[in-house]
Structure 1
Amino acid sequence: MRSPNPLSRREFVKAAGLAAGAAGLVLPSAVQAAPARDPNAVLAELLEGNRRFVNGQLIHPGRSPKDFLALAEGQAPLAVIVGCADSRVAPELIFDQGVGDLFVVRAAGNVVSGAGPIVKGSIEFAVAELGARLIIVLGHSQCGAVKAAIQHIDANDVLPGSIGDLIDPIRVAVNAVKGRPGDKLENVTRANVEKGVERLKGLDPILSKYVKAGELKVVGATYELHTGLVKVYE
């Protein structure tokens, strides 16, 4: 979907970057001044990209240094993806997006609560400084971190190094689905995503302000490894 502005955000950024390069100027503020995008339109655009990915009809199949040239002096990403560090889940690929379209923050288990200021600050930066108005907390099927959380929390054992600290934030999701019918791994995966969405919507002082003003959309979703489909939670 396209913005009603004469230039889409992506086209504006590209034009600004090329113009700056041609003039020998550094214009990060101009690049960041790309028109604001409706978060619902951005979400629809990402889901359309996912459909292209599933159907093998990618329009962003490869990358080379020239693809980065237009954005060398600044960025204006369409959305923030808070995803898992899993090697099988690359947001730019599964949403078929180009260079500069996604601001991606990844940690095993797509953890938000308990992830510390580095993760939350990165997300806040993308919204407050780069103008992103859509955040997707993206879980995925067969998540190793969620599996480990279920296994080791149930066993009440101790994990070495910092792995226990990594798993501990998912404990809330594991406890939240106790007694719930259905597949436990799927239930915990979704609960973990929903906890992340809830945390970001209420994250003061930056994200909560934009959410309350109706300017920022935060949604949860799951990527299915077997099909390639992304399912957004209502």
Structure 2
Amino acid sequence: MRSPNSPSRRRFVQQVGLAAGVALSSGSTDLKAAAQPAPDPDAVLALLREGNKRFASGQTSLLTRRRPSDFAAMAEGQAPVAAIIGCADSRVAPELIFDQGAGDLFVVRIAGNVVDGAGAVVKGSIEFAVAELGVRVVMVLGHSKCGAVKAAIQHVDARDSLPGSIDGLVELIKPAVADAAGASGDKLENVTKANVLRSVAKLKTAGPIVPELVRAGKVKIVGAVYDLATGVVEVFG
């Protein structure tokens, strides 16, 4: 259910306004926020970058909304502004690394953060996020030392297969190994970025819902890689 005036939407609009240099007066804050148009995708990205800076520097907000009462306030609806397609890796929690609270992010997690070949479950989730919930930014988030990407590299080189459905998952990542072939630098890093870019490209062409919103400038799709060692997210694409 979409709820444009939910506490999460109001807070996000206020923060985006502040990040863009828009001062909100202290009076009638809820009414002013509710009257604000949906935030610009670039402003949402700026907000995520600022949150990541707080996380990476160890200055995350102690007031970030993650208490039961914060979730209860949104029991009747949600209104996230950004959607994250991230890896299922236990060390990569988007809400934490972007220092966001309840209701701010719509998160889809799958090992290897793959989109192409993942089927209707992943693409349908993103379409729901942009069409029904009104998110303005879709981010494909990879990360350093990704086990799924590492397995794809290893099993391309070895020309063998893995047991069960693990093999099917790794097969979806193998095209990124070919994309990164011949690139200078660390092979795992190159393939990780190539894998993200493949997913970004797929979302931009997997129509009709998402591509139309991208062309209209209402939604921005970006790629990113999270560094486990530093906590920093590099955004590109």
State TM-score, norm by structure 1: 0.85
Which residue matches 1:203? 206
Q: CA deviation at 1:9?
A: 2.8
- Check if 1:73 corresponds to 2:76: yes
- In structure 2, C-alpha distance between the alignment counterparts of 1:81 and 1:41, rounded to whole Å: 16
Aligned match of 1:100 in 98, 103, 123?
A: 103
- In structure 2, C-alpha distance between the alignment counterparts of 1:83 and 1:213, rounded to whole Å: 25
- In structure 1, C-alpha distance between the alignment counterparts of 2:133 and 2:56, rounded to whole Å: 29
**Preserved CA contact (<8 Å) 1:34 1:76:** no
> Structure 1 residues 8, 73: CA separation in 2 closer, same or farther (over 3 Å shift)?
closer
- In structure 2, C-alpha distance between the alignment counterparts of 1:194 and 1:8, rounded to whole Å: 30
Q: CA deviation at 1:83?
A: 0.3
Which residue matches 2:167? 164
Q: CA deviation at 1:55?
A: 1.5
Segments of 5+ residues of structure 2 without an aligned counterpart are 1-6, 14-33
> Structure 1 residues 75, 33: CA separation in 2 closer, same or farther (over 3 Å shift)?
farther
Aligned match of 1:53 in 47, 52, 55?
A: 55
**Preserved CA contact (<8 Å) 1:9 1:35:** no
For residues 130-158 of structure 1, the C-alpha deviation after alignment (integer angstroms, 9 at most, x for no partner) is: 00010010000000000000001211112
**Preserved CA contact (<8 Å) 1:77 1:130:** yes
**Paired residue type of 1:53:** F
Which residue matches 1:152? 155
**Paired residue type of 1:54:** A
- In structure 2, C-alpha distance between the alignment counterparts of 1:193 and 1:174, rounded to whole Å: 12
For residues 11-42 of structure 1, the C-alpha deviation after alignment (integer angstroms, 9 at most, x for no partner) is: 389xxxxxxxxxxxxxxxxxx99841211000
Partner SS, residue 164 of structure 2: coil
Cα root mean square deviation, aligned: 2.2
**Preserved CA contact (<8 Å) 1:84 1:107:** yes
Q: CA deviation at 1:105?
A: 0.4
Which residue matches 2:226? 223
- In structure 2, C-alpha distance between the alignment counterparts of 1:209 and 1:55, rounded to whole Å: 37
Bigger shift: 59-68 or 199-208? 59-68
**Preserved CA contact (<8 Å) 1:10 1:101:** no
**Preserved CA contact (<8 Å) 1:9 1:37:** no
- In structure 2, C-alpha distance between the alignment counterparts of 1:53 and 1:185, rounded to whole Å: 25
**Paired residue type of 2:180:** V
Which residue matches 1:125? 128
Partner SS, residue 53 of structure 1: helix
**Preserved CA contact (<8 Å) 1:12 1:34:** no
Which residue matches 2:85? 82
Which residue matches 1:176? 179
**Paired residue type of 1:135:** V
Bigger shift: 62-71 or 161-170? 62-71
Identity of aligned residues (%): 65
Which residue matches 2:20? none
For residues 161-196 of structure 1, the C-alpha deviation after alignment (integer angstroms, 9 at most, x for no partner) is: 100110111111001111221111000000000001
Partner SS, residue 49 of structure 1: helix
